[in-house]
Amino acid sequence: MPAKPVDFKLRNVRRGIRAASQENLIVSEVEIGPDGTIHIHTTPPGEKSHDTELDKWLGEHPNAGQAQGHQ
């Protein structure tokens, strides 16, 4: 039996992000639960949000973002 599609509205996610931004909070993550609940995780201003795996990798490889010259 196929899983029931999650029932949430993108406009509600946008409203939540906008409300957090208006309070000067940094949105670090948005989770949509299997039942359609929306959880918006924030970081207070001045605090660094948790790094993603990509952020960690880029921190370990400082030259990764530089273009390699090919001739």
Mean pLDDT by 10 residues, the chain (71 residues): 75 93 88 90 74 73 65 50
24: left (phi over 0), alpha (psi -120 to 50) or beta: left
Give the pLDDT score at 13.
92
The 3-state DSSP class for residue 65 equals coil
Strand partners, 53: none
What is the rounded CA–CA span in Å between residue 34 and residue 70?
47
pTM: 0.56
Tokens of 32: 């949509």
